[in-house]
């Protein structure tokens, strides 16, 4: 079965796709961290960050329409959080006058820019590699062993369970059409319990088969490949650019933003 | 319910990441081999449960099942929740990469509170199951409100999060129904 929500564009071939998953994970984490650590209300550096993001999107060959759709999906949560920044003080009567109001709107805008930049970076991360490569990358980066095993198991079951969830959802919708009522909660409960029970049964069978094949919690198939010099050079270059943007205010004196 | 990157104060988010590493260590210590598939699959079920949406006030909410995770896994719920939230951030961009720690701590606290209620044997099982589902949502919502306020949002943010009371009531009803189903079909799952 194929679910398009998972690494839909991971098979493409681009310079970003060819970079080691570990480097991509570290770069994405560093990029997001640098962006979110910008002081609130500071808007100017986002001109540079958006240029970097635009270059990455162009180089990745991931369709802009796909990235936009991902942004649209999460936009209600981000916009709600941003709008509530100035609104929450007004609701409780803590309104500090027009200057404070303007400053709060500036902060709200910076929240929107930070959050959407992070969403695009995450979308690019998961669209420029196979998902199992990213998980392997996390394990190679010394993710705690237990999380490594859990993530490996989860990855194997998500497809099967998603199919189960979609089938049970269809069955539920056909049994309880119309408005939300108390009977529906019973069906939601039974549906959730059924997903748990099926997942437990399947997990036990698969885990036992993994044990019978000699699984000890290690991943012998995981090649200990060294990171290439080209990837390291990319990482240093990329982070240097971001740090220059973050630590300097190049060009800000020309514009009052 | 997942907090995206860039919404909260970075200091709080990074402190939560450090704390979550400690919590993973504490809750993942001495895991028996037979517990591993249960933890892994609860994580997968949490991930998949987020695909079950129900209509609410013109929009839709999805199930969290953190209360049920607490009932089934106890303190082992945290590693499962952490991994599920990491997957949701990577696959759907629900939440963020840097906020995985704080989101996991919020949801994990809900699951832990649910486990504590579930272990209170003075209460009848139907009440414990419903309360476990309720606190599995309301505790994360309260923690989120607190984190938003610590990040500079006004006190009005508590009004916004009050809508989670309805989601928590629904989750309580779902949890009650799910535990009844478990008791009938697979009672060994209930620790």
Please check the confidence at residue A208 and state whether its pLDDT lies above 90: no
**Read out DSSP for A178-219?**
SS--HHHHHHHHHHHHHHHHHHHHHHHHHHHHHHHTT--SS-
Contact across the interface for B49 and A35, Cβ inside 8 Å = no
CA distance B137 to chain A (A): 15
Interchain proximity B52–A91, CB inside 8 Å: no
CB B11 within 8 A of CB A127: no
Distance, in Å, from the CA atom of A129 to the CA atom of A118, rounded to the nearest integer, reads 17
Mean pLDDT of chain B: 87
What phi, psi does B60 have (nearest 5°)? -140, 145
Q: Choose among A115, A11, A23: nearest CA to A71.
A: A115
Chain B: give the shortest CA distance to residue A256, in Å.
Answer: 23
CA–CA distance, B167 with B7 (Å, rounded to integer): 22
For residue A76, list chain B residues with Cβ-Cβ distance below 8 A. Answer: 59
pLDDT, one tens digit per residue, over A44-58 is 899 999 999 999 999
What's the pLDDT at B22? Answer: 94
ipTM: 0.86
For the stretch B11-34, pLDDT in tens is 999 999 999 999 999 998 888 877
Residue numbers in A near B91 (CB within 8 A): 5-6, 126, 131
Task: Judge whether B27 and B79 are in contact, CB under 8 Å.
Answer: yes
Q: Which two tokens stand for residue A53?
A: 């993001």
Return left, alpha or beta for A20; rule: phi > 0 is left, psi -120 to 50 is alpha, else beta.
beta
Q: Are B155 and A85 in contact (CB under 8 A)?
A: no
Terminal Cα-to-Cα distance of chain B (whole angstroms): 27
pLDDT, mean of residues B34-51: 81
* Nearest Cα residue in chain A from B57: A180
Pairing of the two strands B59-62 and B53-56: antiparallel
Surface of B (14-43) touching A: CB under 8 A? 21, 24-25, 28, 31, 33, 36-43
What average pLDDT does the segment A2-16 reach? 77
Tokens read off for A57: 């999107």
Provide mean pLDDT across the span A129-157: 86
CB-based contact (8 Å) between B123 and chain A? no
Considering only the beta carbons, identify the residue of A114, A144, A153 that sits closest to B28: A144
The whole-angstrom separation of Cα B127 and Cα B146 is: 27
Res. A30 pLDDT band, cuts 50 70 90: very high
Report domain extents, chain B.
Answer: 10-189
Residue of chain A whose alpha carbon sits nearest to that of B176: A189
- Bridge partners (DSSP) of residue B54 are B61
Backbone angles phi, psi at A118, to 5 degrees: -65, -40
In eight-state DSSP terms, residue B8 is S
CATH number of this structure's domain B10-189: 1.10.1760.20
Residues facing residue B61 across a β-bridge = B54
Which chain A residues are closer than 8 Å to B162 by Cβ?
none
Judge whether B94 is closer than 8 Å to chain A, CB to CB: yes
> Binning pLDDT at 50, 70 and 90, where does residue A59 land?
very high
User: Which tokens hold the place of A68?
Assistant: 């936009």
Answer for the pair A198, A166: CB distance below 8 angstroms, yes or no.
Answer: no
Enumerate the β-bridge partners of residue B56: B59
Which pLDDT tens digit goes with each residue over A228-251? 899 999 999 999 999 999 988 655
Q: Are B55 and A180 in contact (CB under 8 A)?
A: yes
Whether the CB of A189 is below 8 Å from some CB of chain B: the reply is yes
The pLDDT, as a whole number, for residue A46 is: 93
Residue B53 DSSP SS3: strand
Question: Angle of helix A21-36 relative to helix A131-140, nearest 10 degrees?
Answer: 80
pLDDT of amino acid A16 = 92
Q: Which helix (H) or strand (E) holds A245?
A: helix A229-247
CA distance A7 to A15: 17
Each domain of chain A, given as residue ranges in start order, spans 21-137+226-254, 150-212
pLDDT of A168-200, one tens digit each?
Answer: 777 777 776 665 566 666 777 777 777 778 777
Rg over CA atoms, chain A: 23
Residue among A166, A165, A167 at smallest CA distance from A193: A165
Query: CA A73, CA A55: separation in Å to the nearest integer?
Result: 23
Q: Is the pLDDT of residue A116 over 90?
A: yes
- Give pLDDT, residue B111: 95
Query: For position B45, what pLDDT does the model report?
Result: 82
On whether any CB of chain A is under 8 Å from the CB of B12, the answer is: no
Q: Does residue A99 register a pLDDT over 60?
A: no
């Amino acid at each position: 079965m194929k679910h398009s929500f998972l690494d839909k564009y991971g098979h493409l071939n681009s310079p970003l796709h060819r970079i080691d998953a570990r480097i991509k994970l570290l770069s994405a984490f560093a990029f997001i961290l640098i962006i979110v650590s910008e002081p609130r209300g500071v808007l100017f550096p986002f001109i540079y960050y958006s240029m970097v993001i635009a270059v990455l999107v162009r180089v990745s060959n991931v369709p802009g329409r796909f990235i936009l759709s991902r942004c649209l999906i999460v936009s209600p949560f981000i916009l709600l959080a941003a709008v509530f920044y100035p609104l929450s003080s007004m609701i409780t009567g803590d309104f500090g006058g027009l200057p404070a109001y303007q400053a709060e709107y500036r902060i709200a805008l910076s929240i929107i820019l930070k959050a959407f930049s992070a969403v695009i970076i995450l979308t690019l991360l998961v669209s420029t590699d196979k998902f199992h490569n990213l998980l392997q990358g996390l394990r190679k980066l010394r993710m705690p062993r237990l999380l490594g095993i859990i993530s490996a198991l989860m990855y194997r079951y998500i497809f099967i369970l998603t199919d189960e969830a979609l089938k049970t959802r269809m069955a539920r919708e056909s049994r309880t059409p119309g408005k939300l009522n108390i009977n529906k909660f019973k069906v939601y409960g039974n549906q959730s319990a059924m997903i748990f029970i099926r997942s437990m049964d399947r997990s036990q069978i698969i885990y036992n088969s993994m044990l019978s094949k000699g699984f000890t919690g290690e991943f012998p198939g995981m090649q200990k490949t060294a990171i290439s010099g080209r990837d390291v050079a990319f990482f240093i270059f990329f982070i240097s650019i971001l740090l220059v943007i973050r630590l300097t205010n190049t060009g800000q004196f020309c514009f009052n933003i | 319910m997942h907090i995206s990157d860039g919404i909260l104060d970075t200091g709080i988010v990074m402190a939560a990441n450090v704390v979550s590493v400690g919590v993973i260590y504490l809750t993942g210590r001495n895991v028996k081999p037979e517990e591993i598939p249960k933890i892994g699959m609860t994580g997968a079920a949490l991930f998949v449960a987020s695909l079950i949406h129900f209509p609410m006030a013109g929009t839709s909410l999805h199930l969290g099942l953190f209360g049920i995770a607490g009932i089934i896994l106890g303190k082992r719920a945290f590693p499962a929740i952490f991994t599920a939230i990491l997957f949701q951030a990577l696959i759907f961009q629900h939440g963020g990469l840097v906020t995985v720690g704080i989101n996991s701590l919020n949801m994990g606290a809900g699951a832990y509170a649910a486990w504590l209620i579930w272990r209170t044997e003075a209460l009848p099982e139907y009440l414990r199951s419903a309360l476990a589902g309720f606190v599995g949502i309301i505790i994360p919502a309260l923690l989120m409100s607190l984190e938003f306020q610590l990040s500079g949002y006004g006190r009005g943010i508590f009004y916004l999060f009050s809508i989670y009371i309805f989601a928590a009531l629904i989750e309580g009803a779902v949890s009650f129904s799910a535990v009844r189903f478990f008791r009938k079909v697979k009672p060994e799952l209930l620790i």
